[in-house]
C-alpha cells in the first residue's frame, strides 16, 4: 500500500465545474506539497501547506494534519487546468497523481 494515496486517479469535467482532488497519507508529516504537471512534463509547485487552507486564484488547498488528509479544489474549471496533479509529503513521498481533463 502506498503511503500517499490520491483519488481519483482520473477525472474528467466540463468547463466551469468545481473540482476536488483528494490526498491521504499514512505517515506523520509537517507539511504537504501540491504540484501540477502539464502535458510535456514540466512540474510546477502550486502550494506547500502545513495547516488550514491556502488560496491562489481559482485554486484552493486544504489540509487536516490530524486526519492525514488534504484536498485540492479548482473553482470554475477551465480546459487549461487539464494536467496531472500530484501531492507530496514534506519528506518527499509522492502520490501517483490525478489526471484531470477539463472539456470545453
Partner 1 sequence: DAEITQSPRHKITETGRQVTLACHQTWNHNNMFWYRQDLGHGLRLIHYSYGVQDTNKGEVSDGYSVSRSNTEDLPLTLESAASSQTSVYFCASSRTWGSGELFFGEGSRLTVL
Mask for 72-91, x = binds partner 1 (CB under 8 A): --------------x-x-xx
Map the footprint of partner 1 across residues 23-42, applying CB under 8 A. Answer: 30-31, 33, 35, 41-42
Q: How far is the CB of 14 from partner 1 (least distance, A)?
A: 27
Beta carbons of 71 and 62 less than 8 angstroms apart: yes
Q: How far is the CB of 39 from partner 1 (least distance, A)?
A: 12
Map the footprint of partner 1 across residues 45-64, applying CB under 8 A. Answer: 45, 48, 50
CA 25-26-31 angle, 5° bins: 50
Beta carbons of 53 and 71 less than 8 angstroms apart: no
CB nearer partner 1, residue 17 or residue 24: 24
Beta carbons of 82 and 69 less than 8 angstroms apart: no
Spatial CA neighbour of 48 closest among 62, 33, 63, 35: 33
Residues of this chain that bind partner 1 (CB under 8 A): 30-31, 33, 35, 41-45, 48, 50, 86, 88, 90-92, 94-97
Amino acid at each position: 500500500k502506498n503511503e500517499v494515496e490520491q483519488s481519483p486517479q482520473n477525472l474528467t469535467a466540463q468547463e466551469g465545474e468545481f473540482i476536488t482532488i483528494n490526498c491521504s497519507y499514512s505517515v506523520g508529516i509537517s507539511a504537504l506539497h501540491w504540484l501540477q504537471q502539464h502535458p510535456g512534463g514540466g512540474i510546477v509547485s502550486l502550494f506547500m501547506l502545513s495547516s488550514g487552507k491556502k488560496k491562489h486564484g481559482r485554486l484552493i488547498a486544504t489540509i487536516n494534519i490530524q486526519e492525514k488528509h488534504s484536498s485540492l479544489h479548482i473553482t470554475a474549471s477551465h480546459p487549461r487546468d487539464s494536467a496531472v496533479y500530484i501531492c507530496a509529503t514534506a519528506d518527499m513521498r509522492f502520490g501517483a497523481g490525478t489526471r484531470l481533463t477539463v472539456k470545453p
